[in-house]
Amino acid sequence: MMRPRPEAEIAAPYLRPLALLSEAHVKGQAKLSALEAAMKALQNGERASGVKGLEEALGFFDTDLARHFKHEENALFPPLIRAVGRGGPVGAMMEEHQSLWRSIDRLTEQVEAMAMSESGPSPKELTLLKQVVEHILWLLRSHIQKEDTMLFPLALQHLSSSDWREVEAEMERPG
Ligand SMILES: [Fe+2]
């Protein structure tokens, strides 16, 4: 009698890497809502909870988001570039990653300055902060939507089983 094959061998090779990337998007959406709420709290004069929420969002960007971008840039994008080229959607996603880091750096500077100042944020500081937060919310939400609806389907269309196994191995590499 044949022994049943382990589930991992039977499962389609794209399932696990795509599930991990999609899960990170769902978690990212939730963190963006928390960032939005923290900004509202600050505008309502709730300085302590607002600053705490902004710092938590920055912590998330620094860890989970950085790891997720690494998964995409080092694991998913290389085989996709081999299949469809560097320009077009893959290049656009890489540019958006860079653009996001620039905005996150600006937010980090503003939050650090605000956390150190004795008085609450001035109306001008609050306006500048709101601008950068709104930009990040818009950019990351639309970025996630483009990846979910366009980039992942493109990868499903073009990557082979062995590509997907490489994607998964690269994503699981420590560090
Ligand atoms: Fe992503």
Q: Distance from the CA of 50 to the center of ligand 1, in angstroms? A: 26
Q: Distance from the CA of 115 to the center of ligand 1, in angstroms? A: 30
Q: Distance from the CA of 48 to the center of ligand 1, in angstroms? A: 31
Between 110 and 6, whose confidence is greater?
Answer: 110
Please name the residue ranges forming H helices in the chain. Answer: 7-10, 15-43, 47-60, 66-70, 77-84, 88-116, 123-146, 152-158, 161-172
C-alpha to C-alpha distance for 154 and 150, rounded to whole angstroms: 6
Confidence of residue 8 (pLDDT cuts 50, 70, 90): low
pTM exceeds cut of 0.85: yes
Q: Distance from the CA of 139 to the center of ligand 1, in angstroms? A: 12
C-alpha to C-alpha distance for 155 and 75, rounded to whole angstroms: 12
Q: Distance from the CA of 62 to the center of ligand 1, in angstroms? A: 15
Between 7 and 71, whose confidence is greater?
Answer: 71
| Nearest residue to 133 (alpha-carbon basis) of 47, 38, 65 | 38
Q: Per CATH, the architecture of 14-172 is what? A: Up-down Bundle (1.20)
In this structure, which residues have their CB less than 5 angstroms from ion ligand 1? 147
Q: What is the pLDDT of residue 65?
A: 98
Q: What is the mean pLDDT of the chain?
A: 93
Characterise 174 by phi-psi region: left (phi > 0), alpha (psi -120 to 50), beta (else). beta
DSSP code, position 46: -
Counting residues of the chain whose pLDDT is more than 70, the rounded percentage is: 94
Q: Distance from the CA of 120 to the center of ligand 1, in angstroms? A: 35
For residue range 37-69, what is the model confidence (pLDDT) as tens digits? 999 999 999 999 999 999 999 999 999 999 999
For residue range 114-161, what is the model confidence (pLDDT) as tens digits? 888 888 788 999 999 999 999 999 999 999 999 999 999 999 999 999
